[in-house]
Amino acid sequence: MFKHILVPTDGTDLAKETCRAAAALAKQLGARITAYHAREQITSTTFSAAIFDGDLVDETTRGQFEKAVDAAARTSLDCAENLCREAGVPCKTMTTPTDSPHEGILGAADQCGADLIFMASHGRKGFKARLIGSETQRVLTESKIPVLVYRWGDAA
Q: For 96-127, what is each residue's pLDDT tens digit?
A: 999 899 999 999 999 999 999 999 986 555 55
pTM exceeds 0.85: no
Q: How far apart are CA 128 and CA 135, in angstroms?
A: 14
pLDDT: which is higher, 153 or 119: 119
Q: pLDDT category, 24, cuts 50, 70, 90? A: very high
Instruction: Give me the phi and psi of 143, to 5 degrees please.
Output: -70, 145
Pick the CATH number of 4-151 from 3.20.20.150, 3.40.30.10, 1.10.10.10, 3.40.50.620: 3.40.50.620
**Looking at residue 152, what is its pLDDT?**
73
Q: How far apart are CA 125 and CA 108, in angstroms?
A: 28
Angle between helices 101-112 and 135-142 (to 10 degrees): 50
Q: pLDDT category, 89, cuts 50, 70, 90? A: very high
**Looking at residue 6, what is its pLDDT?**
98
pLDDT tens by residue, 8-19: 999 899 999 999
- The distance of Cα 122 from the centroid of its chain, to the nearest Å, equals 13
Instruction: Give me the phi and psi of 96, to 5 degrees please.
Output: -140, 150
- Over 60: is that where the pLDDT of 154 sits? no
